[in-house]
Amino acid sequence: MYKPYNALGVARDTVPSQPVTLVRPHAAARAARYFAEKFPGTPMYAVKANPSPDLLRILWDGGIKTFDVASIAEVRLVRETLPEATLCFMHPVKPRESIFEAYHVHGVRTFSLDGLEELAKIVEETSIDGQAATDLTLCVRLRVSSAYSKLSLASKFGVPVDEAAPVLMAARQAADALGICFHVGSQAMSPSAYSDAMLLVRAAIVAAGVTVDVVDVGGGFPSIYPGMEPGTMQRYFDVIGAAFEDLPVSYSAELWCEPGRALCAEYSSLLVRVEKRRDDTLYINDGAYGALFDAAHIDWVFPTNLLRESRAKSIGYSFYGPTCDDMDFMRGPFELPADVQTGDYFEIGMLGAYGCAMRTAFNGFTNGDTVIVTDEPMASAYTVTEPSREVVIPIRRAKSQG
């Protein structure tokens, strides 16, 4: 009888000295299908969350055909990996050279902005022989609250609602299609984040008196972590759909979203080894300069699982990573049995979002192999209601990002 390959099998078979990235293609495919089939509009993947070409292809096959790119490097990556994909350049502040290349070389037609200066750059760099482009979709980013989210994204970008009217009116004149976008912050724990933001969208539209063709609710869709268990994803979709239907937009207006974490968090986890124990602190072979950036810098707590049998009660641990830097520290608490010892392996889950994307080679410490596993992630925001599509996948070890 077939048994899924998992972290325990990898540790047993390879006894790795470096951290191993474990990837679950079936989990990413399931998340993609969920958004593609159930979101009441167009979902586009926020590439910054995990730019793995393998993941991009999985999401494409799962029904995600539009991608939120935030740099010219991401534009090039997605265009090379998925030549038929629709790309939306949603970073509100872009170098002129990036705008020019994105439009003239890679066929990007959608750009975000949050001010008149950025609008002027887009108009100028997309012109041909002095003639302004006539095929632009321009999305003005509003500043909205991150009060419901675990990580705020409310201060760097976005035009305040009471200052948005002149920007919206100017963008309307330059755009073939005018959009309004916003971002409620990462890991929004209530659908109210989106309904509250939609009230601000309504106020901006009324104040400017413009016809809006696109409303992009951004990202923030939550995954499941210790102490963070939001309601079902369908609740978010229902609230967003109802709020969109109530907006004064054109009859053919489109609804977009930009999930990043929600599409890739379940895609990968990390297999690590304990190099030393000191009281309730474990020295492990990955850390703040590797896949655990968020655990170190914003005290994000990830699920953990010891890869051997233990009857000891669980306690909360802190981690030190492998570098010489005192800042290579993850406060936690990370729950593991009280009898963890040097040489033990454990799995850290839900690292598909931002884990590999934030990895560096500081101090010479890098990731080891990337291995496909076929078991379920430690948590899932998607209820499995269809027959399993899992197949036996050959083990592949590579140095590419997971």
Check residue 383 and give its pLDDT.
66
> At residue 392, does pLDDT exceed 60?
no
What ranges make up the beta strands (E) of 217-344?
254-257, 268-278, 281-284, 304-306, 314-320, 329-337
- Specify the fold of 7-23+265-372: Lyase, Ornithine Decarboxylase; Chain A, domain 1 (2.40.37)
The structural domains of the chain, with segments of one domain joined by +, span: 7-23+265-372, 25-264
Check residue 388 and give its pLDDT.
38
How confident is the model over 183-235, as pLDDT tens digits? Answer: 999 999 999 999 999 999 999 999 999 999 999 999 999 999 999 988 899 99
How confident is the model over 167-180, as pLDDT tens digits? Answer: 999 999 999 999 99
- pTM score: 0.91
At residue 268, the 3 state secondary structure works out as: strand
Architecture of domain 25-264: Alpha-Beta Barrel (3.20)
- Tell me what the mean pLDDT of segment 363-375 comes to: 89
The Cα–Cα gap between 56 and 26 comes to 13
Q: Which residues does 387 contact at the CB level (< 8 Å), separation at least 6?
A: none
> At residue 130, does pLDDT exceed 90?
no
Check residue 180 and give its pLDDT.
98
Helix then strand then coil, in percent of the chain rounded to 5, is 30, 25, 45
Q: Which residues does 77 contact at the CB level (< 8 Å), separation at least 6?
A: 47, 51, 53, 56
> At residue 282, does pLDDT exceed 70?
yes
Check residue 366 and give its pLDDT.
82
How confident is the model over 3-18, as pLDDT tens digits? Answer: 569 999 999 999 999 9
The Cα–Cα gap between 216 and 370 comes to 34
How confident is the model over 55-77, as pLDDT tens digits? Answer: 999 999 999 999 999 999 999 99
- Topology alike, domains 7-23+265-372 and 25-264: no
The Cα–Cα gap between 274 and 255 comes to 47
The Cα–Cα gap between 186 and 179 comes to 21
Burial of 327 (0-12, 13-18, 19+ CB in 10 A): exposed
Check residue 390 and give its pLDDT.
37
Amino acid at position 285, single letter: N
- Tell me what the mean pLDDT of segment 108-121 comes to: 97
